[in-house]
């Protein structure tokens, strides 16, 4: 589904080059459940942003469903992202001036062409599935962290993406709530066949994923279990 070929991403701080991701080649198939692990600063988030087309590579290719997307314009990339990728972040990234319901609907407002589903109905279904329908008219800062993360997962799912990328989704949650979030992500993979990629520091979480990718100084080491 997504292939990275010798992908590098460098940041330049003055003269100094920081190779956040260094010559990574990686193939991600449909319906995979993957954990990305590595120490702080190793390049996990950068790799995730490259896979999710939030960042473009400095060099190398990213092939999505057979098409080279590494050199597309921001506008084209955002259209593809809107349809194909859902993001879940450690800090939830909900918009506080919008209600829970409006946050979940947001990606459907950005969709440039017609939707083949009823957004309101889909949002209601997702909120019910995640047990937060009764919070639909609340603002994000009036609900718990676990509830906010469920809202952000609903928002990530509303466009029916094939892939969900979660960057330390339990980092701001207590361990019980974190487990619930991981179980939700696991079920999305099992029941809906969504490809799920979780960036995590925690080996307990990584244990649940089917494929583990380790990154160190921007380079990959992989182990299948
Ligand atoms: N926008 C940026 N500008 C400059 N350097 C950056 C930028 N983003 C990341 N980096 C650098 O790239 C390297 C990899 O960063 P990245 O955020 O991918 O690490 P990470 O593994 O996600 O770390 P953490 O576990 O702390 O979230 C780091 O050295 C970081 O300082
Ligand atoms: Mg990170």
What's the per-residue H, E or C state across the chain? Answer: CEEEEEEEEEEEECCEEEEEEEEEEEEECCCCEEEEECCCCCCHHHHHHHHCCCCCCCEEEEEECCEECCCCCHHHHHHHHHHHEEEEECCCCCCCCCCHHHHHHHHHHHCCCCCCCCHHHHHHHHHHHCCCHHHCCCCHHHCCHHHHHHHHHHHHHCCCCCEEEEECCCCCCCHHHHHHHHHHHHHHHHHHCCEEEEECCCHHHHCCCCEEEEEECCEEEEEEC
Which residue owns the Cα nearest ligand 1 atom 26? 40
Which of the listed residues 18, 38, 48, 199 should we mutate to test ligand 1's pocket, taking the one with most ligand atoms within 8 A of CB? 18
pLDDT, mean of residues 21-40:
95
CA separation for the pair 10, 5 (Å, rounded): 15
pLDDT, mean of residues 105-131:
93
Which residue owns the Cα nearest ligand 1 atom 25? 40
Nearest listed ligand to the Cα of residue 42: 1
pLDDT, mean of residues 112-139:
95
CA separation for the pair 28, 51 (Å, rounded): 9
Query: 34 with 50: CB under 8 angstroms?
Result: no
- Residues touching ligand 1 (Cβ under 6 Å) are 11, 13, 18, 20, 38, 40-46
What digits encode the pLDDT tens for the residues 44-78? 999 999 999 999 999 999 999 999 999 899 999 99
Residue 224 has pLDDT above 80, yes or no: no
Which residue owns the Cα nearest ligand 1 atom 6? 11
Residue 202 has pLDDT above 90, yes or no: no
Q: How far is the CA of 217 from the centre of ligand 1 (A)?
A: 10
Burial of 21 (0-12, 13-18, 19+ CB in 10 A): buried
Q: Could you give all domains of the chain from N- to C-terminal order, each with its CATH number? A: 2-95+144-224 (3.40.50.300)
Other Cβ atoms closer than 10 A to 183: 11
Q: Which atom of ligand 1 is nearest to the CA of 42?
A: 21
Residue 225 has pLDDT above 50, yes or no: no
The pTM for the full model equals 0.94
CA separation for the pair 215, 21 (Å, rounded): 9
């Amino acid at each position: 589904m997504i292939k990275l070929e010798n992908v590098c991403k460098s940041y330049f701080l003055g003269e100094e080059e920081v190779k956040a991701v260094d010559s990574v080649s990686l193939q991600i198939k449909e319906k995979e459940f993957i954990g990305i692990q590595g120490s702080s600063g190793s390049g996990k988030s950068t790799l995730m942003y490259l896979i999710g087309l939030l960042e473009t590579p400095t060099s190398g290719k990213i092939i999505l469903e057979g098409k080279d997307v590494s050199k597309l314009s921001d506008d084209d990339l955002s259209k593809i992202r809107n349809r194909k990728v859902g993001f879940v972040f450690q800090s939830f990234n909900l918009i506080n001036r919008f209600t829970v319901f409006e946050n979940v609907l947001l990606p459907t407002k950005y969709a440039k062409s017609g939707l083949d589903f009823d957004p309101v109905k889909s949002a209601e279904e997702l909120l019910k599935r995640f047990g937060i329908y009764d919070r639909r008219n609340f603002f994000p800062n009036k609900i718990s962290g676990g509830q906010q993360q469920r809202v952000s997962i609903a928002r990530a799912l509303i466009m029916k993406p094939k892939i969900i990328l979660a960057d330390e989704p339990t980092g701001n949650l207590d361990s019980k709530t974190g487990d619930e979030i991981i179980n939700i992500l696991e079920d999305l993979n099992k029941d809906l066949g969504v490809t799920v990629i979780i960036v995590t520091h925690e080996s307990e979480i990584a244990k649940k994923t089917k494929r583990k990718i380790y990154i160190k100084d921007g380079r990959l080491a992989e182990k299948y279990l």
